[in-house]
Structure 1
């Protein structure tokens, strides 16, 4: 399994080949840079984020996607727009791809959250699936909505086609592991998060007889650079 690297595809697979889903995390925002919890807060890209998009978009376009689907939050949509401009595809916005809702933490600095909500942070550190920010979502709730969206995209793909999905750090990771059927507790232990403007590549295995185990992770946290 690839962990980092160029991560670009050379061409569209031949007809009859396995399908592919690429899940991209949006570029850096001003709140990412400031270590502020965002959740559903609609934050614009930072200057570094715009540079990341310019560097990454050609690599995503090289997959020659047939579908381009994005979270409707502007940080994801702006990232998707850069890919659309190179592929001619229309971006389909889907609110189910939004980041985990972080409740009372939205707009708060990460250090303030740890100081004011030590019990909730401790529960998350123990692996418990408690609502983020007391009034936000659980991981299971995110898995339900994102998984539903990703599986719909999968069903639209014809043999040999690729879809690019632009999501967020948590929702993107959960969407990928839902597609391959990996238990979320296990994935939390195995996989690190996705860096801004990096992606996960999933490919369909032609050797599997099980619909649940048909998809494989072929690359994790792929990107054309290391900032």
Structure 2
């Protein structure tokens, strides 16, 4: 029988790693019509609303401690559906907006290819040209969206999860910033996010070091097709 003085104290259970789930908004009417949106504030399509209803329970199951969204309506509407199942309020952050596409905003994809062949050719070569001539580069989006994601991470306690709702480009480049992945490599290796699919990022450490790093544990997650 062990005496009280020599008994080994029970250590508290580990809280587990922090986690960030970066979600692309549901389909919009412009997504369906192949229209460039950028900062255009577009409504969800009927299919998009169905996608939200299918995705929200999966995302709420992460039991997020906070939900942050781009302030554009298509992202905020997606975030609201998730928040409605968690009791949380959505915090809006304009830095999570989609890449600004300048003169392309509101144009059909075929029209853009016809009217701006030089810019499209530069992008096809892998150059980070401003979208729509007067819009943003990928690097500019990575700077603002990456900074927003880093700030969200700093708010999380051990074991907590944040759900972040963004856009096709802003979600991918922000996630790449957090894990330290070169954007050209990210472009080459990872496909884009489908509407209402997500990237799961988990904080992990190596056994020989106390330094933690963020890792991609899942990309384009979403086990259903609406």
Q: TM-score, normalised by structure 1?
A: 0.91
Unpaired stretches in structure 1, ≥5 consecutive residues: 1-13
1:176 aligns with 175
2:65 aligns with 66
Quote the offset at 1:226 in angstroms: 2.5
Question: Which digits, 9 at most, give the CA deviation of each residue in 1:122-153, with x for residues without a partner?
Answer: 00000000100000000010000000000000
1:5 aligns with none
Larger Rg: 2
CA distance in structure 2 between the aligned counterparts of 1:189 and 1:39, rounded to whole angstroms: 22
Q: What's the C-alpha RMSD, in Å, of the aligned pairs?
A: 1.3
Unpaired stretches in structure 2, ≥5 consecutive residues: 1-12
**Residue-pair matches, total:** 213
Alignment of 1:1-227 (within 5 A): 15-207=14-206, 209=209, 214-227=213-226
Contact 1:18 1:206 in 2 (8 A): no
Quote the offset at 1:201 in angstroms: 0.2
CA distance in structure 2 between the aligned counterparts of 1:52 and 1:129, rounded to whole angstroms: 31
Contact 1:102 1:136 in 2 (8 A): yes
From the superposition, tell whether residues 166 and 139 of structure 1 become closer, same or farther in structure 2 (CA, over 3 Å): same
Q: Which has the higher contact order (CA 8 A, sep 6+)?
A: 1
Question: Which digits, 9 at most, give the CA deviation of each residue in 1:163-193, with x for residues without a partner?
Answer: 0000000000011111000000110000000
